[in-house]
Amino acid sequence: MKGVILAGGNGTRMMPCTKVTNKHLLPVYNKPMIYYPLLTLVNAGIKEILIVSGPGHAGHFVNLLGSGKDFGVKLSYEIQDEAGGIAQALALAEDFADEGPITVILGDNIFEDNINGYVKEFIEKGGARIFLKEVDLIAAKRFGIATVEGSKVTYVEEKPQEPKSNLAMTGLYMFDKEIFEIIKQQKPSARGELEITDAIEGYLKKGSLYYNMINGFWSDAGTFESLFKASALIKEKEDQK
């Protein structure tokens, strides 16, 4: 299993801070934001990790993380020339994946859960796997949502105005090699991007989309409000040690 961290985008919701660096390098309490998804993959035993970022501040990631030696992993880097959606960014990982399974995590997502067990389960099962967390219905409008039955997902929708469930899709996914063929067949959404939810729906239609419920806290840190919340959660956990 290889890992992919998607850390592109323009960071427009966090201006003016993102004038000088990538959003994913802003501090969340006492570490750069990118450390949290990186450590999620490292703690899952994943040794080869690709970081996809935009061209503006790509060198900042290299300056901070280098080869990955300090984390005991091998890091590679890829540039998404323009913000064309999460699925477009993921498509850049095809050569890196080398037809093997991948765990994908958004660079602004912070998880308390250890995903090591989920990785082992996925390698045995294949298909695609999403990770869900219960939120209130107002918060659900900010995320993709899913409905489930048994071990399978029955419906997904991106940022619904009237959510059909309170199960938010977190920014953590596992895919087999078919993900890249699915993305190649996608068409841009109404906002001109290749949406990850549309790619996930490709697996749903084939009956091979599974899920896990995330334990512990989860937060994105892509707005000033969620960045503040995530920092407070991390500080609380650090104070308990």
What would the mean pLDDT of 60-79 be, rounded to a whole number? 96
Residue 173 has which token pair? 């996914």
Q: What separation in angstroms does the CA of 227 have from each of 27, 32, 218, 232? A: 9, 11, 12, 9
Chain segment 38-50, per-residue pLDDT in tens:
999 999 999 999 9
Q: What is the pLDDT of residues 81-116, one digit of tens each?
A: 887 889 999 999 999 999 999 999 999 999 999 999
Q: Quick one: CA dihedral 50, 79, 57, 77, positive or negative? A: positive
* Residues whose CB is less than 8 angstroms from the CB of residue 161 and which lie 6 or more positions away in sequence, other chains included: 141
Give the ranges where 43-176 is alpha helix by DSSP (H): 58-65, 86-91, 94-97, 116-125, 137-140
| Confidence grade of residue 204 (pLDDT, cut at 50, 70, 90) | very high
65 CB neighbour count, 10 Å cutoff: 22
- Residues 170 and 152: their CA atoms lie apart, in Å, by 16
Residue 107: domain span: 2-239
pLDDT band at 60 (very low <50, low <70, confident <90, very high): very high
**Which residues touch 139 (CB under 8 Å, ≥6 apart)?**
168
Nearest alpha carbon to residue 145 among 201, 86, 187: 201
Q: What is the largest CA-CA distance in the chain?
A: 48
Query: Is residue 133 within 8 Å of residue 218, measured between CB atoms?
Result: yes
Name the β-bridge partners of 188: none
216-238 mean pLDDT: 88
Q: Total domain count for the chain?
A: 1
Average the pLDDT over 136-152 and give the result: 85
Which domain CATH number covers 12? 3.90.550.10
Give CA–CA dist 221/227, Å, rounded: 4
Residue 10 has pLDDT above 80, yes or no: no
Q: Is the pLDDT of residue 147 over 90?
A: yes
Of the two residues 107 and 18, the one the predictor is more confident about is: 107
* Average pLDDT, integer, range 4-24: 85
Residue 151's pLDDT band, with cuts at 50, 70 and 90, is confident
